[in-house]
A and B are shown apart, each in its own frame.
Chain A
Amino acid sequence: MYIIETKNLTKSYKDQVAVSNLNLHIPRGKVYGFLGPNGAGKSTTMKMFLGLTKPTNGSFAINGKKYPENRIEILKEVGSLIEAPAFYGNLTGEENLDILRKILGLPKTAVDEALELCGLTPYKKRLAKKYSLGMKQRLGLAGALLGKPPILILDEPTNGLDPLGIHEIRTLIRSLPQQFDCTVLVSSHLLSEIELMADYVGILNHGKLLFEGTLTELRQEARAEGYPTDNLEDTFLAMIAADNGQRGRGR
């Protein structure tokens, strides 16, 4: 039922725990919003899913495949956009995607499809280093969507986009499960954004999962805890503030 499942996933550095005993359950065919303030551990978790950083403890499985035994198999099924857009500046947008296509063993048409999907077709012959920040972000997204993978991991995909671009990408992400039958894990530090995209949310603070469930469940829980529920942004802020307060008292 869950396409991504983690069990006590932990990542700690010398004197800091970035992710602490995380138990995520991401359902198949849904958009899962991964929410948390800067430094909450969202990117670290996503990096662990991609094998870019090694978990200190715990385990996870993606589409039934366990890490690290099946790392390469997992990566074959995951399209990703992590941190800043990653590309080769000396190549055009089209050439960049062609390199990814060859590694993934996809047909040539996959590049044009991805470019079209992200609105980059008119700029495909332009050098990637000459792209604007928004176009670079779109190129990163096109790279993630290449070959329509069953799982998409997108770390703050609307970073650097203008309001129109944000709207377009948001609509695209929202439509992906229906269009390509895929599961999307998308991170953001803005609840307002996640609210418009996600079916499920996971709220992370200081590496700890504070909540996991649907938006309706979030409202119910917030009401039960006495947090404001008129505006989900306020609910989120109140949740984080309460957790930070508890931490302060714990110290």
Chain B
Amino acid sequence: MSLGLEWQKIKRTGVLWTFLGGGILAAVVPVINLAARSEMYLRLQDSPVDILFKGNWQLMALLNILLLVLGACVLYHIEYADNGQLKMCSLPIKESTLFFSKLGLMTGLCLVSLSLEALGMAFCLSHWFNLSQSLCLELLKYFAYAFLLLLPGGMLALILSAFCKNLWVSLGCGVIGVCAAILIPTDNFILNLFPFALPFQVLTLNTEQAVCYLLASLGEVAFMALMFLGLLKIRRTLA
């Protein structure tokens, strides 16, 4: 029910269109890249999905994480702009339920944009390579991995938004976080555990490292969920 409420609340905010637009923009990246430099990519010997991800994912991941930061800011801005949050807190609903419903909604919106991106890549595979069932499965695997690595960044952005009443503060913090993540070299395991840096990782043949990133991502989500609940208690005590 709460997820439905959050869906109702984003009416006229443009969040859905932002995620759709962002997804389409990110989906167009590999298409344009391959159209412009197809010879260079077709010469490579790797798996087609691997080629597509290595050649385009950095920019696509940047768009995805920026979308999440923006989405998180708007989802909480509507709560603070006209005191909607205050009303919610005086109703028989837990603040944590609101947060996790927003997280669920944002995850759903993220899945929509990732699906559009997967369609873009599927188009590239069918147009420039031979799209087979095994390639489709491989593509799904890459996107599932990318989705799971996006979760900690999205959650961190949402926590920032939940605690910063001013939209510009949470947006600024998010953008600075993303900018900092861009500067992190992708081969440094520890530094890449930073939630905003994780989405830039691509599923590689090094399965051990991929599993490590996956576990780290899930661990970060669990840790941040607990941290959020703790911060809520502190905020209530200080109120």
Interface string of A122-137 (1 = CB under 8 A from B): 0000011100000000
In chain A, residues 50-70, which have Cβ atoms closer than 8 Å to a Cβ of chain B?
Answer: 50-54
* Chain A residue with the shortest CB-CB distance to B2: A103
Tell me whether A86 and B1 are in contact in the complex, defined as CB-CB below 8 angstroms, given that A76-B92, A103-B91 are known contacts. no
Interface residue? A100 (CB, 8 A) = yes
A99 to B11, CA, bound (A): 12
Interface string of B57-83 (1 = CB under 8 A from A): 000000000000000000000100111
Residues of B within 8 A of A128 (CB): 82
Residues of B within 8 A of A104 (CB): 91-92
A78 to B12, CA, bound (A): 30
- How many chain B residues touch A (CB < 8 A): the figure is 26
In chain A, residues 66-121, which have Cβ atoms closer than 8 Å to a Cβ of chain B?
Answer: 72-73, 75-76, 78, 80, 82-91, 95, 98-100, 102-104
Interface residue? A33 (CB, 8 A) = no
Q: Is the CB of A91 within 8 A of B92?
A: no
A223 to B92, CA, bound (A): 44
In chain B, residues 1-51, which have Cβ atoms closer than 8 Å to a Cβ of chain A?
Answer: 1, 4-5, 8-9, 11-13
Q: Is the CB of A86 within 8 A of B9?
A: no
For the complex, would chain A's binding face be called helix, strand, loop or mixed by DSSP majority?
Answer: mixed
* Chain A residue with the shortest CB-CB distance to B1: A102
Interface residue? B211 (CB, 8 A) = no
* Chain A residue with the shortest CB-CB distance to B238: A54
Tell me whether A95 and B11 are in contact in the complex, defined as CB-CB below 8 angstroms, given that A100-B91, A104-B91 are known contacts. yes
Q: Is the CB of B82 within 8 A of A75?
A: no
Q: Is the CB of B91 within 8 A of A88?
A: no
A127 to B82, CA, bound (A): 12
* Chain B residue with the shortest CB-CB distance to A78: B90
Q: Shortest distance in angstroms between B39's beta carbon and chain A's nearest beta carbon?
A: 49
Q: Is the CB of B89 within 8 A of A91?
A: no
Q: Is the CB of B82 within 8 A of A87?
A: yes
Residues of A within 8 A of B5 (CB): 99, 102-103
* Chain B residue with the shortest CB-CB distance to A85: B83
A102 to B83, CA, bound (A): 19
Q: Is the CB of A99 within 8 A of B9?
A: yes
Question: Which of B1, B91, B239 has the most chain A CB atoms inside 10 A of its CB?
Answer: B91
Interface residue? A157 (CB, 8 A) = no
Interface string of B72-112 (1 = CB under 8 A from A): 00000010011111111111111000000000000000000
Q: Is the CB of A129 within 8 A of B92?
A: no
A87 to B90, CA, bound (A): 12
Residues of B within 8 A of A78 (CB): 90
Q: Is the CB of B87 within 8 A of A100?
A: yes
Question: Which of B84, B94, B236 has the most chain A CB atoms inside 10 A of its CB?
Answer: B84
- B-side residues, CB < 8 A to A, are 1, 4-5, 8-9, 11-13, 78, 81-94, 236-237, 239
A-B pairs with beta carbons under 8 Å apart, 30 shown:
A50-B90, A52-B89, A52-B90, A54-B239, A72-B92, A72-B94, A75-B90, A75-B91, A75-B92, A82-B90, A83-B86, A84-B83, A86-B85, A87-B83, A87-B84, A90-B11, A90-B12, A95-B8, A98-B8, A99-B5, A99-B9, A100-B87, A102-B5, A103-B5, A103-B91, A104-B91, A104-B92, A128-B82, A129-B82, A143-B87
